[in-house]
Amino acid sequence: MPASRTNTEPTPRRATHLTGEQLERLVAALRAELAEQQAELAEHADDLADSEEDRDLAIAMTARAQEAIAELQHALDRVEEGSYGICESCGVELPFERLEILPHATRCVTCQSRPPGLVR
């Protein structure tokens, strides 16, 4: 049985502003990008065996691919939870146009623009 919420914990907001078709398009884009990043990760893992110069670049590219995979998986998890398309900082709905450009976005433009120490 799930743990009950206390009165001080906010109830997570569920996304309701995206149509089923929009959500399907965004999920397809997330899955395609995830597959691309996983392929890139495998490619860079193969490069680790090459020269030391190439190895440093491959390590950096591998780290970036792993980060991208984590961001994409987080977005897909949020789809499953029903919170995809809601700013994680302030709770506003992310416009479809923003998600179309950056499907793994987790924050609105305003919150994303704030310096890290000022994010709510």
Per-residue pLDDT in tens (0 to 9) along the chain, 120 residues: 444 434 443 444 566 788 889 999 999 999 999 999 998 888 766 666 666 777 777 788 888 889 999 999 999 999 999 999 999 999 999 999 999 999 999 999 999 998 876 655
Domains of the chain, CATH where assigned: 20-118 (1.20.120.910)
Q: Both tokens of residue 9?
A: 């914990």
Q: In sequence order, what are the residues at sequence separation of 6 or more whose Cβ sits closer than 8 angstroms to the Cβ of residue 98?
A: 105, 108, 109
